[in-house]
């Protein structure tokens, strides 16, 4: 017994500092806190931040194997699945609701979930826009606004529709939106302006793009003709993000403005995108794994013990006004931040086994 205690003491002295932090930055536990915090503070079920948070809980469920929150997710969805309530449609922020029942249908065998989700995915492209220059059908959804936010709201819905049907038209739709948006919004540094009416590199806006590229790459077939283009765009963006990451591990409200505040929802989305890229070998340089780990540490520093994510930028429309972005209110517990942190935690669970290898940059366990 005495020898055991002595050995334990020696091992404790030799433990790397990061190992001591395991109890405070463990992604499975933090994901659980985030989920509980979110489920206890829902204001409206069919708002897109609520949908994105529910989708994050589904990702956490898949990553952990725990069914702790499935019952609550089903209860919240039941009025819509049964037809007692109807969802809003006709806007990217409304139709994305379908990603929730589609994702949940992978875990709960209920045909109503697929029917609900697919109806919203198909309605999104029931009408397509006519190209103003050529007068021809562009193939783009009529909900197209050319805002960076759109790429996630459209992409997450269509990618989840593909996951349950394997119908390639859903992938084609998401890829077509990217093919239209990228030349108009992506900058030479790989990052994205908020939209045609705003030249600013808003953090969460870029987070929507990073997350959507990640979702698309996760499901896009290897032989899809657009995959090389999407992968190249993703890598260009990740390289740009690594260059502007703050020493805290977080990213600024305006990515190229170090005097803007450090913001957490964008940070969570970037951690999700980087970590997933490392796990899938889309990103092979050691700098990407380091950026993901720093980002996770920086994010968890701003998550309270009860799962409240702090310093989240309030909802933001486009505006060609620098001061507008620099003075946006920071709020705590906003669902935009809760969702992003849930995505990050779920991705980090897959990286958990190799988090202590970062000094020698070994290949992550897959």
In a domain, 352, yes or no: no
d(CA 326, CA 332): 17
Please tell me the predicted confidence (pLDDT) of residue 352: 52
Residue 3 structure tokens: 């020898």
What phi, psi does 322 have (nearest 5°)? Answer: -60, -45
In a domain, 188, yes or no: yes
In a domain, 366, yes or no: no
For residues 74 and 101, is the Cβ–Cβ distance under 8 A?
A: no
For residues 295 and 270, is the Cβ–Cβ distance under 8 A?
A: yes
For residues 302 and 271, is the Cβ–Cβ distance under 8 A?
A: no
Helix, strand, coil percent values for the chain (each to nearest 5): 60, 5, 35
pLDDT digits (tens, 9 = 90+) for 211-228: 999 999 999 999 999 999
Range of the domain at 200: 23-347
12, pLDDT greater than 90 = no
Altogether, the residues listed in the chain come to a count of: 366
Q: Which of 227-241, 278-292, 344-358 has the lowest mean pLDDT?
A: 344-358
d(CA 274, CA 240): 12
d(CA 168, CA 160): 12
In a domain, 11, yes or no: no
325, pLDDT greater than 50 = yes
Mean pLDDT of the chain: 91
pLDDT bucket at 15, cuts 50 / 70 / 90? very low
In a domain, 17, yes or no: no
**Nearest to 18, CA basis, from 361, 267, 357, 304:** 357
In a domain, 138, yes or no: yes
365, pLDDT greater than 70 = no
Q: How many domains does the chain have?
A: 1
**Nearest to 195, CA basis, from 72, 319, 283:** 319
359, pLDDT greater than 90 = no
Largest distance between two CA atoms of the chain: 84
Q: Which is higher by pLDDT, 277 or 21?
A: 277
pLDDT digits (tens, 9 = 90+) for 249-260: 999 999 999 999
In a domain, 29, yes or no: yes
Residue 295 structure tokens: 């980002």
206, pLDDT greater than 90 = yes
Which segments within 120-197 are labelled E, that is strand?
Answer: 128-130, 137-141
Q: Which is higher by pLDDT, 172 or 43?
A: 172
In a domain, 229, yes or no: yes
For residues 283 and 241, is the Cβ–Cβ distance under 8 A?
A: no
Which segments within the chain are labelled E, that is strand?
Answer: 128-130, 137-141, 251-252, 262-263, 312-313, 330-331
CATH number, residue 58: 1.50.10.10
CA distances from 271 to 77, 108, 250 (A): 28, 28, 9
């Amino acid at each position: 017994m005495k020898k055991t205690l002595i050995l334990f003491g020696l091992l404790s002295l030799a433990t790397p500092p990061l190992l001591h932090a395991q109890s405070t930055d463990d992604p499975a536990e933090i994901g659980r806190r985030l989920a509980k915090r979110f489920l206890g503070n829902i204001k409206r079920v069919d708002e897109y931040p609520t949908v994105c948070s529910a989708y994050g809980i589904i990702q956490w469920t898949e990553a952990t194997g725990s069914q702790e929150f499935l019952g609550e997710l089903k209860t919240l969805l039941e009025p819509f699945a049964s037809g007692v309530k109807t969802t809003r449609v006709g806007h990217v922020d409304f139709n994305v609701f379908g990603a929730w029942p589609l994702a949940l249908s992978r875990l709960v065998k209920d045909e109503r979930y697929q029917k609900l989700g697919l109806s919203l995915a198909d309605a999104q492209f029931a009408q397509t826009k006519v190209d103003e220059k050529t007068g021809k059908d562009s193939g783009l959804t009529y909900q197209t606004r050319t805002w960076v936010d759109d790429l996630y709201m459209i992409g997450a819905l269509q990618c989840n529709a593909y996951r349950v049907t394997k119908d390639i038209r859903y992938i084609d739709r998401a890829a077509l939106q990217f093919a239209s948006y990228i030349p108009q919004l992506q900058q030479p540094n790989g990052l994205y302006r908020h939209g045609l009416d705003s030249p600013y590199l808003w953090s969460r806006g870029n987070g929507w793009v990073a997350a959507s590229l990640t979702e698309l790459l996760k499901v896009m077939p290897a032989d899809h003709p657009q995959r090389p283009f999407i992968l190249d765009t993703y890598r260009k963006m990740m390289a740009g993000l690594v260059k502007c990451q703050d020493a805290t591990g977080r990213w600024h409200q305006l990515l190229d403005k170090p005097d803007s505040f450090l913001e957490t929802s964008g940070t969570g989305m970037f951690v999700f995108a980087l970590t997933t890229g490392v796990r899938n070998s889309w990103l092979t340089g050691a700098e990407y794994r380091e950026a993901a780990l720093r980002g996770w540490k920086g994010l968890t520093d701003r998550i309270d013990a009860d799962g409240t994510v702090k310093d989240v930028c309030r909802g933001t429309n486009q505006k060609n006004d620098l001061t507008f972005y620099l003075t946006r209110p920071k709020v705590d517990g906003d669902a935009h931040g809760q969702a992003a942190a849930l995505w990050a935690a779920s991705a980090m669970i897959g990286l958990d086994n190799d988090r202590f290898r970062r000094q020698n940059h070994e290949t992550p366990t897959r």
